[in-house]
Structures are given as structure tokens and as C-alpha cells.
A and B are shown apart, each in its own frame.
Chain A
């Protein structure tokens, strides 16, 4: 049996791609990914139309996909996140059908349940053997964890592995194994290492960001959750990462031994593991070189699938055991609903990713956001679109005080007792409006650009065009 196919074109043919097929991609190569464009260009040149693309995230490097949308090759998009450049193209209305935004936990759940069945999964593999055993931990395009590719590999009708480091069978260090793989294609390069992982992820130097980060660490301490066995996730955004750094200082000073750190992993979380703040890291995605190195060498730094990370259908997922998650927001309203899909002009520039999954799972879900950015209030009456329901958000940390969801009076009491300046979220909204003035509200058009599908499969909100 020989799974190695000479060309990508041949693999596409063998896998049975046809008009109307749904193909899928993972986003572990982030803004350095070559594979999605490579595959879609080939599919386009073979004359197929009406393709559905299910990609766990889309980055600006994927802008050629916008052309395939414009010329009808691609007519459906399913994703968890898209960066600003790609989002801007979608916001212009190039795709007739609304984009389906899911969460990192909801995506694999819907693939497994058959809500979004995949015809062919194209899996970029930094290293694979001739039978399709593969890993992201080694190879010139190493990206560490391949957590988002598992559901695709397990459930797609056909699985094509694309690698730039083909090794003899059997590959001992494997993430996804040959039992799922139909074809293996060797290519020159699957990605640009400079765009795959950052050399280092940098902590913010913005003074306001640092003030909020320190406050967030103090809130965690005051919440009573910071004790032995503590588990934690943070985003890779500037202020949330700085908060992790302050939290580490507290944990080391007080000798607190946590249980696990979770989510997308940065070098800062690796430091926390190595310095004894956690027993293990549960890693669905690596953000920088230090994280890649750690997952390759440290047995306590473990790779998990997106299902294990966040699926609402799993018997249990890591997010269900989280004590605290630190998250960002582009807008938050007085009901604590959060928008991470669009900017303040209503233009798509993000997505849930694991935002609403972790908010739902964690005992304490915290948003860190300044009152305003460039004269635009962040705390508003109504978010432009709802990415994460306010009922799952416990605390908002701003530079002018901390607002606690009124549904959590016992938490508010604890924070006050711990010396935290707790304020009403309406006060924060007023302070933002006093500072910025009242912005003229965006007027929604009648065109639906995207559906925001909550982790349980229900329609949470829709993103409309702006008039």
C-alpha cells in the first residue's frame, strides 16, 4: 500500500473533490500558512465551483481565498476567527451566503455530529511519514500542537496530509496517526516559519495596559480561587499576557502550586510551568518558539485536541475545569455581552476562537479592556454583535475600576473585601462617554454578513453590514 501521491493535483482528484465539496484546513501555521492557498489555487485551476471551506481560522495570508470567493469557486465559509485584512474583504460583502462563525469547541462538535460534514480534510503537517502518521512538533515548519486538526482527520471522508518533511514509516512522535489518513503529498514548503510562530510573544508596555493587568492579577487573588490546584487560561493579547506575568509573581511569592494552564500557549505560560506554578500545560495551539520547544521536550506540556480543549459535547473538556480565564474585548455592553468579532466600525476583525467556550467553562471569566480606544467607548449600551453572552462573563477590568456582573454579588463582596475598586458597569459606560463624547451609532444594513453560532449550536447573533 502506498499513500504517497506525487502531486497535490493528483491527491485532490483521488480524494474526490467535486463541485459543491466541503474541504477543511487547520490554522496552526497561522499567518505563515501556504497550504490553504496552495490547495484552493489548485482546486480553482481544476475548474471546480461552489466549494465550501471550513478553516479553523483565517489570516491575512489567506487573502487569495477572497479572489476564489469573488469568482465563484468558493461559496461557503465556515470558521472560528478571521484577522482584520481578511475580515475587511468579507465585510465588503463578497460572499453571498453568511459566513458561519463557530467557536473552537463548537467547530469540532459540529464536525463530529455531522452538522458540518467534511468531504476532504487537507492537513498541513510539519512532519509526516509515508503512511500519514504526523506531528507538528518537529520539522522546519514546526508549529507545536495540532489540536485543531484532530476532528477533521477523524471525521472527514478523505484525509490528505501535506508535508514538507516526509520521513520513513513509522514516525514515533506522532499526534494524528495513519489510521485516519488516505493520501500523503510532499511539497517544498507548507509555510513561512516567520509567520507560523512569533520568536517571542511580547508583553504590553502600554502604561494603561499594565495598570489593568496588575488589577486583573489582584482580582484573581481577591476572588479566593488562587490556591493550590489553581487552573488558568489567558489570551496572548498584550494586557492579558502582562496579567499572567503579575499573577506568576503572586503565585511564586505565596508558593501556590496550580494544576494546569490551558489554551493557546505562549512562552510566559511555559515559564510558569517550569517555575512550578502549574503541574501541566494543556496545549491546543502554540503561539511562540518557546512553546514549540517545550511541547516537544517536556512531558508535562501536553497536546490536546480541540474537543478535549473546549467541546461542549465532550464528556468533559479542559475548559470545564478552568478556574480563571482572562479575555479581551473590542466592545462590552452593560449586560456584559462581549463583541470580539468586529471593530468599532462594525468591520469583521476577529471571532470567538475559544472566547465563549472558556467563558462558559471557567469559574471566573474576566474581560480586560480599556474604557475607550482612539475616542471610541469600549463599554457601550449594546455591542454591535454578541460573540460571548454576558451571562457567562463575571468581571470587567478597566483602568478606572472593576465591574462585577450583578448576577455574582458574592464575588463583588469578595473583591471589595480584597481592596479592589468595584464599580457599577453603568458608571464605566458613563465615564467612557464623558471622556469620548457620544459616538454616532452604527446603522445596521439589511445584509447578513455572518452568523455567530454559539457553542451549543444555537444562533447567538448575526453580523450585518453597516450602512
Chain B
């Protein structure tokens, strides 16, 4: 279960060390934008040691490596793949070929290390106009892709529009990302809300993203994590309804009924699937009982 993903700057020990107690389901240890070019070596070693010694139990580790147009990305992968982080986030992914290039090198490393292929998954960061246009191709380029992630800051620069709090300028991109991800059967994550002092704004933004179909949302501030988790968790009402659905289905089966209805509404396969998702998540959160 991954609702929130928190960015932590890769060369700042003070931030990294408390990564597992800030409430985020996943941490993104950043070797890219948060690290100056002359400190890439230091960040790589620091992140590697932090994962090796601290392990961050109970939290998914995602590494944002540097992009293909830099001299750093292979070295980043050389250091990170042996640690088996759950995911590698690749910035500025613009087409399927980008994914395949990362994929091929990761496979090479996994083979060398004797790891099973696709041990470490990919989360392409889509933050260019071309990337958004190619979102489905990116999401379905490789079995290694587990999720795609929208980066609105770089994207709005590429679109030559102003990034606003309301985010009308990225509405199309958000919708396009969700469609592509769902069509490719992978998860999809929303861009961070960047005003760290706007506690109401983050809630509105997260609720909007959830409404569009995003799996979860990234954050650059620990202060936003709790709200993101809350918004992307099922409500008690959702959970109660999900159990009702499953119970109705069970009774229907017992009675040998073909069609089952609940509160006067037909329960079809998508409703059951959704109810099961809700229950799975509730159980993972300790809110539900095993169905």
C-alpha cells in the first residue's frame, strides 16, 4: 500500500535519518534535483549507507536517480541496485525507449548480482510534454514499470505556462496520466503540492487527485504526509459498504442467485472488485477485519 511518497534530499543526513518515522508509506531518496552536481558522489554513498545500515523498516524505499542525459545515472544504478530498493524513479522519462534503456542496464546489474530480473521496479517520472503524450507507451514499455508519476513543476515549464495552486494548467496531463496508467494496469502518483504552509490547500489538491483516480500523491514536506494518507485511505463508510457488498454476494451465492442487489442497486463485478480493494486496504491499515 502506497498512498504517500515523501521526497528526502539525498545529501542531507538530518533529513534522511528520520525517514522511517515521518508517516509516509514510501520515501523518495533524491539523487537528482536536491543534490548539487559536485555532490552527486557524496549523496550516492550517503544514501547507500543509510539504506544499508538503517533499513527504514516498514517504509518503501524509492530512489530518484539522475536522468539519461547526465553522466550520473549508471553510477547511481551501480550503487543502488545491490540494495534492492523497491523502486527506481527515473526523471524526465519521455518515451518507451527511455524506459527500455534504464530497464536494460538494470537487468544487466541484476544478472551480475544474481538477482532475479525485475527485482527492482521502475516508476518513470513523467514531466515533459512529450512524456505526457507517450504516457501509455511508457507505462506499458516493460514489466518492470510498476507505476508512473506526474511531475508538474518541470512540465509546466515545458508547457510554457504558469504553475498555479489551482492547477488548471495540469488538469489535462493529470487525466491523461490516470488513463495511461489504468490502461497499462500500473499505479499512478500525483505531483507534490508545493506550498508547505497551506494546510487546507494540500487537502483540496489531494482530494481532487484522488477524485481523478490517482493511487496516491508525492510530497516535498513531511507536514503534508498525514493529510495525503488520510485522503487516500478508505473512509469508515467506504469500508462498511465494502463489507456489506461482500456479505450480499456471499448470501446471493448461498441462495444460488445470479444477480444480487444491495439497497436496491445491482451489484456487478466492478463493484465487487472495488469493494475487495477497499477491504484489502482497510486490512493493511488495521481498520478492517479479514473478509
Q: Which residues of A are interface residues toward B (Cβ below 8 A)?
A: 207-208, 210-211, 214, 399-400, 419, 435
Indicate if B226 sits at the interface (CB-CB under 8 A).
yes
Q: Which residues of A contact B22 (CB under 8 A)?
A: 207-208, 211
Task: Tell whether, in the assembled complex, residue A211 and residue B286 are in contact, meaning their CB atoms are under 8 Å apart.
Answer: no
- Given the known interface contacts A419-B286, A435-B54, the answer about A207 and B226 at a Cβ–Cβ threshold of 8 Å is no
Distance from A265 Cβ to chain B, minimum over Cβ atoms (Å): 25
Which residue of A214, A400, A435 is within 8 Å of B226 (Cβ)? A214
Chain B interface residues (CB < 8 Å from chain A): 15, 17-18, 21-23, 54, 222-223, 226, 286
Asked if residues A207 and B222 are in contact (CB atoms below 8 Å), the reply is yes
> In the complex the two chains form, what is the Cα distance from A214 to B222 in whole Å?
12
Main secondary structure of the interface of A (DSSP, over half): helix
* List of A residues within 8 angstroms of B223 by Cβ: 207, 210
Chain A residue, CB-CB nearest to B222: A207
Listed A/B pairs (16) with beta-carbon separation below 8 Å: A207-B18, A207-B222, A207-B223, A208-B21, A210-B222, A210-B223, A211-B22, A211-B23, A211-B222, A214-B226, A399-B18, A399-B21, A400-B21, A419-B286, A435-B17, A435-B54
Measured between beta carbons, the chain A residues less than 8 angstroms from B54 are 435
Question: What residues of chain A lie closer than 8 Å to B15, measured between beta carbons?
Answer: 207
The answer for the CA separation of A278 and B54 in the assembled complex, in Å, is: 44
Assembly CA distance A419 to B285 (angstroms)? 11
Most central of B18, B222, B286 by chain A CB within 10 Å: B18
- Measured in the bound complex, the distance between the Cα atoms of B223 and A187 in whole Å is 48
Q: A214-B226, A435-B54 are contacts. A208–B18 as well, Cβ < 8 Å?
A: yes
**Chain B residues with CB below 8 A from A435, complex form:** 17, 54
Give the CA-CA distance A214 to B23 in the complex, in Å.
Answer: 11
Give the chain A neighbours of B18 by CB distance below 8 A: 207-208, 399
Q: Which residues of A contact B23 (CB under 8 A)?
A: 211
Q: Chain A: which residue is nearest B15 at the CB level?
A: A207
Instruction: Give the distance in Å from the alpha carbon of A400 to the alpha carbon of B56 in the complex.
Output: 12
Q: Find chain B residues with CB under 8 A from A400 CB.
A: 21
CA A207 – CA B17 in complex, angstroms?
Answer: 12
Known: A207-B222, A211-B22, A435-B54. 8 other contacts (CB 8 A): A207-B22, A208-B21, A208-B22, A210-B222, A211-B23, A211-B222, A399-B18, A400-B21
Q: How far is the CA of A214 from the CA of B230 in the complex (A)?
A: 14
**How many angstroms from the CA of A440 to the CA of B226 in the assembled complex?**
38
Complex Cα–Cα for A214 and B286 (A): 19
Q: How far is the CA of A460 from the CA of B23 in the complex (A)?
A: 39
Chain B residues near A208 (CB-CB < 8 A): 18, 21-22
| Distance between Cα atoms of A245 and B66 in the complex (Å) | 40
Report the minimum CB–CB distance from A354 to chain B (whole Å). Answer: 29
Instruction: Name the residue in A207, A208, A419 with the highest tally of chain B Cβ atoms < 10 Å from its Cβ.
Output: A207
